[in-house]
A = this chain, B = another copy of it.
Amino acid sequence: MNVYMDHASTTPVDPRVVEKMMPYFMEKYGNPSSSLYEIGREARKAVEESRVKVASAINAAPGEIIFTSGGTEGDNLAIKGTALLDKDKKHIIISSIEHFSVLSTCDWLKKQGFEVTKVPVDRYGVVDLSELENAIRKDTALISVMHANNEIGTIEPIEEIGRIASDNGIIFHTNACQTAGRVPIDVRKMDIDLMTLSSHKIYGPKGAGAIFVRKGTRLEPLFHGGGHERKLRSGTENVPGIVGFGEALDLACREMRKEGERLTRLRDRLIRGILKIERSWLNGHPEKRLPNNAHFCFKFIEGESMILELDFNGISGGTGSACSSPTLEPSHVLSAIGLPKEDVHGSLRLTLGKQNTKEEVDYVIEVLPKIIERLRNISPFKEDFGEYESALAHEHKH
C-alpha cells in the first residue's frame, strides 16, 4: 500500500486545478503585460480572476494580493520589505517556533543591525501573549507570528496577536502557509497587515504563492524590474501557476468544512492508534491544532531510521530528527516546547490529506508498532537512556 502522509511538506496538485492550468501553457500563453493584443489580455484576465479568488478566500481586496513564487519568497518579501523601509525601527518580534523562511530572514536582518526578540511558547507550542506584549518596544518595526506551526500543527491566537499589534501601531505579519484553505482566515477580523500564502501546500502547483499586503502598508520590493504587481514584485507573472493557485485556494475554502471534519476524524483515529505504542506521546496542542496534523515522539528511536522503515512499507512521513536535516540540527520547534534533544530525535510527523482513507490510517497503525519494535531491538536503549541519562543529569547540575 502506498500512503502519503506528508501533506505539510507538499501536496499533489488537485486534478481540477491541473485542468484549469492546462490552457495557459500552450494556448493562452500570452504575457499579461502585453494587454494590447488578445492573447496577452487573456493572460491578464486569468491573473486578475485568480487575484479575486485569493482575495475572497481571506476577506481581502484584490488590490491587496501580490503574487509570488511561494512561501519562502513571501516571508522574505514581507519581513525584509517592512524592515528595510523604516530606517528608525530596528526591532522585530517573532515566535521561537517560526519556519526557517522567517527565522533565517531574521538572522540575516540581525547581521544588518536589527534586534530580534523570539517570544517563547508553552509546552503545546502556543505563543506566550504576555511575553509578546512585554517584548514590544518603541522601535519595533514588525511582529511576525505564524498562523499554525508546520511541525506540531499548533494554531496560534492570531486574532489576539493582531489586536496587540494594532493597539501598539505595529505592523503584523503572519505566515499562513499551513492554514490558508485549511482553517478560516479573515484578515480584517484578525487585524493582519501582511500574510504569506503558499500554493503547493493546498493542492496547488509548486512555484506559486502570494502575500496579502493591507491597503496602505508599504513594502520595499525584493525584485526590482518592470514594475509588475504594483511595483512590489517585478517579473513576468507565472500565469499557469497563478491560475492554479487561485483555483486550489478557492476549492480548498469551498471544501474546508467538510474535508476538515473528515480529516479531524482520521487524525484522531490515527492518534488513538499510534499512542498505544509504549513510551510514545503526542506533541502540539490537543485541540488547537491543524485538522490534518499528528505529531508524535517515541523514546529510544531515531527518526530518520523510522522514516526510512516507513518508506520500505510504502508510507511517507516526516521527522524533526537532526540526522534527517541538512544542518544536522534537531528541530528548534521541538526544543522550544521543552523536549530534550534525545527525545526530539524520536519524532514523527504524519500530516493527512485529501486522498488518505481510514484504511490507510489503519495500515499505518498496524505497521508502525512493528517498526518501532524492530528499531528498539537494534538500539542499546530499551527502558531508559541508562548511563547517558545520569551523565546528562550530572551535566545539568553544573
Contacts and interface: CB of A to CB of B under 8 A. Distances in A.
B13 A225 contact: no
Max chain B Cβ within 10 angstroms of own Cβ: one of A39, A105, A235 = A235
Given A37-B311, A73-B235, A104-B234, A222 B222 contact: yes
Interface in A156-207: 198, 200, 205-207
Interface string A253-282: 000000000000000000000000000000
A381 interface: no
A247 to B, nearest CB: 13
A64 interface: no
A369 interface: no
Contact of A73 (B107, B223, B308, B316): B223
A108 interface: yes
Given A227-B100, A240-B205, A31 B10 contact: yes
Contacts of A30: 10, 316
Interface string A239-255: 11100000000000000
Q: How many chain copies?
A: 2
Contacts of A18: 25-26
A150 to B, nearest CB: 11
A33 B222 CA distance: 25
B101 A225 contact: yes
A102 B28 CA distance: 28
A10 B31 CA distance: 6
A52 interface: no
Contacts of A4: 39
Contacts of A327: 227
Contacts of A227: 100, 104, 326-327
Interface string A305-331: 001101100011110000010110000
Q: Chain A interface: which size bin?
A: 35 or more
Interface in A3-55: 4, 6, 9-13, 15, 18, 25-27, 29-31, 33-34, 36-40
Contacts of A326: 33, 227
B72 A236 contact: yes
Interface in A59-112: 69-73, 75-76, 99-101, 104-105, 107-108
A76 B220 CA distance: 14
Nearest to A106: B224
A33 B225 CA distance: 30
A31 B9 contact: yes
Contacts of A101: 223-226, 234-235
Interface string A142-161: 00000000000000000000
A210 interface: no
B34 A72 contact: no
A73 B240 CA distance: 18
A302 interface: no
B100 A37 contact: no
A241 to B, nearest CB: 5
16 contacts: A10-B29, A34-B316, A36-B308, A36-B311, A37-B311, A70-B236, A71-B235, A75-B225, A76-B224, A76-B225, A100-B224, A104-B227, A104-B234, A107-B224, A206-B236, A207-B208
